[in-house]
Amino acid sequence: MIKGDQEIKMRSLNTTKLLGIILGWSLLLTMSGLASAQSQDKDKVELKIQLPKPMFVGTPRNIKTPNLEPITGKPRGPFYVPAGTQLVSLNKPVTSSDRQPVIGELSYLTDGEKSGEDGYFVELGPGPQWVQIDLKEPYLIQAIVIWHYHSQARVYRDVVVQVSEDKDFINGVVTLFNNDHDNTLGLGAGRDREYIETYEGKLIDGRGTKARYVRLWSNGNTSNDMNHYVEVEVYGLPVK
Ligand SMILES: [Ca+2]
Ligand SMILES: [Ca+2]
């Protein structure tokens, strides 16, 4: 009888001890997790993006598309990048699946002009098209900001953003964004949402991926079958 009691006591003592150890460890793990998150944030700075003048106000409601992200009507909010991140795409060469744009020039993509007015966008032919920026050397890509066309609320279809060190995008291709949910382009079905173009542009997380080339796909939009770009900005860190 006494022996049994002792056994129970011993067992409960062991359980208490064990719980204490587990709690201690989880606390330690949580603390070290917090510490590493804090030290990460300390090295990060807010990405400053020069935005063009807004061309329309209010919340568009007439857009019908199957995979649209919720419209908040609020500004994007800050995006943090490692200190030393620079705009690395300005005036860099641009190529495209459409070598003869319908309107404008491919160089408009990286000329720093983001106005939504006529005369600032390049128009590529109908259906699936890509544009590609050559950064001339590899960078650790932190963010890509895309302005397709922002003088009217519209959604571009099958937006896919890929980066690579291979100019032909055969080897080492990393997909950073893909909202082609039904795999129209054949690059794989994407899980990102469709979005309405605004003067803020669409910011895509580069996740520090090392790459020299950025390729962007689209496949017409909710207003017409054509593909447009006002500007694309790539922000990166030099590879040490
Ligand atoms: Ca431009
Ligand atoms: Ca699709």
- Which-ligand-closest: CA of 183? 2
- Please indicate, yes or no, whether residues 180 and 71 belong to a single structural domain of this protein: yes
- Please indicate, yes or no, whether residues 191 and 122 belong to a single structural domain of this protein: yes
- Which-ligand-closest: CA of 148? 1
Find the mean pLDDT for residues 143-151.
Answer: 97
- Please indicate, yes or no, whether residues 146 and 30 belong to a single structural domain of this protein: no
pLDDT of 16 > 70? The answer is no
- Please indicate, yes or no, whether residues 11 and 116 belong to a single structural domain of this protein: no
Contact (Cβ atoms closer than 8 angstroms) between residue 231 and residue 183:
no
Model confidence pLDDT, tens digit, residues 177-207:
999 999 999 999 999 999 999 999 999 999 9
- Please indicate, yes or no, whether residues 126 and 28 belong to a single structural domain of this protein: no
- Gap from CA of 81 to ligand 1 centroid (Å): 23
Contact (Cβ atoms closer than 8 angstroms) between residue 219 and residue 157:
yes
- Please indicate, yes or no, whether residues 142 and 174 belong to a single structural domain of this protein: yes
Arithmetic mean of pLDDT over the chain:
88
- Gap from CA of 123 to ligand 1 centroid (Å): 12
- Please indicate, yes or no, whether residues 72 and 120 belong to a single structural domain of this protein: yes
- Gap from CA of 122 to ligand 1 centroid (Å): 8
- The total domain count for the chain is 2
Place of tokens 């950025």: 214
Contact (Cβ atoms closer than 8 angstroms) between residue 135 and residue 213:
yes
Q: How far apart (Å, rounded) are the C-alpha atoms in residues 103 and 121?
A: 8
pLDDT of 159 > 50? The answer is yes
- Please indicate, yes or no, whether residues 81 and 18 belong to a single structural domain of this protein: no
Owning domain of residue 11 = 1-42
- Which-ligand-closest: CA of 65? 2
Q: How far apart (Å, rounded) are the C-alpha atoms in residues 134 and 117?
A: 26
Model confidence pLDDT, tens digit, residues 21-56:
545 555 444 444 444 444 456 789 999 999 999 988
- Gap from CA of 127 to ligand 1 centroid (Å): 22
Reading the block at residue 30, the tokens are: 């949580």
- Please indicate, yes or no, whether residues 2 and 98 belong to a single structural domain of this protein: no
Q: Find the Cα–Cα–Cα–Cα dihedral 111, 115, 116, 118, rounded to 10°.
A: -80
pLDDT the model gives residue 40: 54
pLDDT the model gives residue 56: 81
pLDDT the model gives residue 148: 98
Per-position b or e across 71-82, b if 16+ CB within 10 A of its CB: eeeeeeeebebe
- Please indicate, yes or no, whether residues 108 and 208 belong to a single structural domain of this protein: yes
- Which-ligand-closest: CA of 89? 1
Model confidence pLDDT, tens digit, residues 68-100:
998 888 899 999 999 999 999 999 999 999 999
- Please indicate, yes or no, whether residues 13 and 80 belong to a single structural domain of this protein: no
Rg (C-alpha) for the chain, rounded Å, is 25
| CATH number for the domain harbouring residue 87 | 2.60.120.260
- Which-ligand-closest: CA of 157? 2
